[in-house]
Amino acid sequence: MNKTPTISGFTIVRNASLLEYPFRESVLSVLPLCDEFIINCGDSTDDTAEIIRQLVQEFPHKIKTIFTEWTKENQSGGFQLKKQSDLALQKATGDWCFYIQADEVIHETDHPAILRAIQKASIRPEVDGILFDYLHFYGNFSYQIKGRNWYRKEVRVFKNHRGIEAFRDAQGFRKTGKRINVIPSGARVFHYGYVRTSQSLRKKAEQMAQWWGEKATKSPESFLLKRHVGLSKFLDSHPQEMASKISQNTKYCDPIKGKRSWDKNEIKNAITLIWESIIPYRIGEFKNYEIV
């Protein structure tokens, strides 16, 4: 009889409220799948630590916490995000690791697909991880966006104790610097990082710039949400954990009312979308994984 694999969830967070991350919703969306969940809390200046303490009180036998200081050494390439993700990963004891970022949420209807993929991959030693499809929301909860600068897939679940670490800014993971072998799960990651007002977008950019060795010196106009190609109405359901936030969706902007900006990136996005409507292959797509 095959052993049921154990799953360790993990995440990093710093200034969740200040940066308007759906952090609590993110954790709760994967918690039913996990035997334990590790939260690495950075030195926040808002009520993030209190949010975490409340989660620990609600789930004392699942949630484990570490508190760290985000330092300024080696700021290039989002190194601090990798460092902190790896620190949380090191605490994982399960057979599998489930990484979720503070602005990502998993739909409860996708839980069975995730578990099926884990069971399938558990008996295939050549498989390292599970691939997820991404839905990127932009401006508000009613619009999603696609394009060359929006990644379509990424690894969020992988086998533990294989030397797998966060890569660059922890968008994905690699094994000894090489792409990891994965199978698709068909499950989705709902990414809400750009469900913001222009003021919130600027605040996030100013906070995150320090971890990239940059200065947030852009003009206020540069943070106005634009009407990009690749925008479309989202007609499906959001995760249940997001219901409260969505019901309060009164302050976010309507991206369709934004200005168009036909710079070189926008032209590339338009060409990519036309190409992919004919041939479902993205030329030169950045990947941290190989599908096997």
CATH of the domain at 6: 3.90.550
Better-scored residue on pLDDT, 72 or 58:
58
What is the domain extent for residue 107? Answer: 1-292
Tokens of 283: 């030329």
The pTM score is 0.94
Q: How confident is the model at residue 281 (pLDDT cuts 50, 70, 90)?
A: confident
Which residues are 167's β-sheet partners? 172
Q: What is the mean pLDDT of residues 133-153?
A: 93
Query: How confident is the model at residue 227, as a pLDDT?
Result: 83
Neighbour tally for 207: CB within 10 Å: 15
Q: How confident is the model at residue 285 (pLDDT cuts 50, 70, 90)?
A: confident
Q: How confident is the model at residue 128 (pLDDT cuts 50, 70, 90)?
A: very high
Q: What's the domain count of the chain?
A: 1
Pairwise CA distance, residues 139 & 69, whole Å: 31
Query: How confident is the model at residue 218, as a pLDDT?
Result: 58
The mean predicted confidence, pLDDT, of the chain is 91
| Kind of pairing between the strands at 104-106 and 180-194 | antiparallel
Better-scored residue on pLDDT, 247 or 111:
111
At residue 142, φ and ψ (nearest 5 deg) are -95, -10
Neighbour tally for 71: CB within 10 Å: 11
| Cα–Cα nearest to 171, from 103, 261, 112, 72 | 103
Query: How confident is the model at residue 1, as a pLDDT?
Result: 45
Pairwise CA distance, residues 175 & 168, whole Å: 12
Q: How confident is the model at residue 75 (pLDDT cuts 50, 70, 90)?
A: low
